[in-house]
Amino acid sequence: MNAIKTAVAAVTAAASLVAFSPAEAATATANLNVTANVGGGCSIGSGIGGGTLNFGTYDPVVVNSASGVDLFGTGTLSVQCTLLRTAVITLGQGLYPASGSVDAAPLRRMRNTASADYLSYFLYQDITRLVVWGNTFGTGLPFLGTGLPVPVLVYGTVPRGQNVPSGTYNDTVVATITF
């Protein structure tokens, strides 16, 4: 047993004599280049309420008659773009555009689900309803990405004074983001 202890002590002593001091160590260096590409992208989808702009009830006899008031509504889109990515959001003319409708100045209409009657409406970029939302670069909504999903409001107006039969009216408008 003493012989083993003596042998271990001798090996330990020898190892300490062989250890290098920092002055005797040598080093070499190299650079490791690290790169990544971040793609610029965007996505657009239905927002709160499933992407529906529900105007509610239009009353052509009293509230929304020619001497009444326009009917207002809002809808929401969910938009997400890479941080600082620029884009433009456009809205199509819908399934039932009126005669003379063009992408830059859409004349949108909802169609009665039980007949061929139409209820005209407009979509706007702003709450004051002064900037019509079109389907061209110049009439679309400019957007700057934050990297996070952003709710984008769509403001709608059904003009007063439309003499239409009762029923359910609807339309589908395609929202596009160009980046």
How far, in Å, CA of 75 to CA of 171, rounded? 13
Whole-prediction pTM value? 0.82
Given a cut of 90, whether residue 165 has pLDDT beyond it is yes
Q: Which helix H or strand E contains 45, and what residues bound it?
A: strand 42-46
Question: For residue 65, what pLDDT is reported?
Answer: 98
Question: For residue 47, what pLDDT is reported?
Answer: 75
Sign of CA dihedral 46, 162, 124, 111: positive
Q: What is the mean pLDDT of the chain?
A: 91
Question: For residue 12, what pLDDT is reported?
Answer: 53
pLDDT tens column, 145-162: 999 999 999 999 999 999
**Hey, which bits of 54-147 come out as E strands?**
71-81, 86-91, 108-112, 118-124, 141-144
Question: For residue 148, what pLDDT is reported?
Answer: 97
The mean per-residue pLDDT over the stretch 13-36 comes to: 76
Domains and CATH numbers, the chain: 44-178 (2.60.40.1090)
Going by pLDDT thresholds of 50, 70 and 90, the confidence category of residue 48 is: confident
Question: For residue 21, what pLDDT is reported?
Answer: 56
Question: For residue 4, what pLDDT is reported?
Answer: 58
